[in-house]
Amino acid sequence: MAKMVKVSLDLEEGLHKAIRKKAIDKGITMKTYLVELIEKGKNVEDRETTEESEE
């Protein structure tokens, strides 16, 4: 199992509410939703880096 670290975020109230609503709509916690978004962004970034190196 990967080592876990705690992270704190200061968010504008509107952004917090939007994230909270999306998480509720998906039936998951905000933490889970944020981790999904971060992983999705990392995967996109990794693909872009791979595509650039293939050129």
CA 44, 47, 48 angle in degrees (round to 5)?
85
Q: What is the DSSP letter of 8?
A: -
Q: Which one has a higher pLDDT value, 14 or 1?
A: 14
**Structure-model confidence comparison of residues 15 and 47, the more confident one:** 15
Q: Which residue has the higher pLDDT, 27 or 44?
A: 27
Give residue 50's pLDDT.
78
DSSP 2: P
Asked if residue 7 belongs to a domain, the reply is no
Q: Please tell me the predicted confidence (pLDDT) of residue 28.
A: 98
Q: Can you give the three-state secondary structure of the chain, one letter per residue?
A: CCCCCCCCCCCCHHHHHHHHHHHHHHCCCHHHHHHHHHHHHHHHHHHHHHHHHHC
Query: Scanning the structure block, which residue is given the tokens 């705690």?
Result: 6
pLDDT digits (tens, 9 = 90+) for 31-42: 999 999 999 998
In a domain, 44, yes or no: yes
Domain count, the chain: 1
- Is residue 9 in some structural domain? no
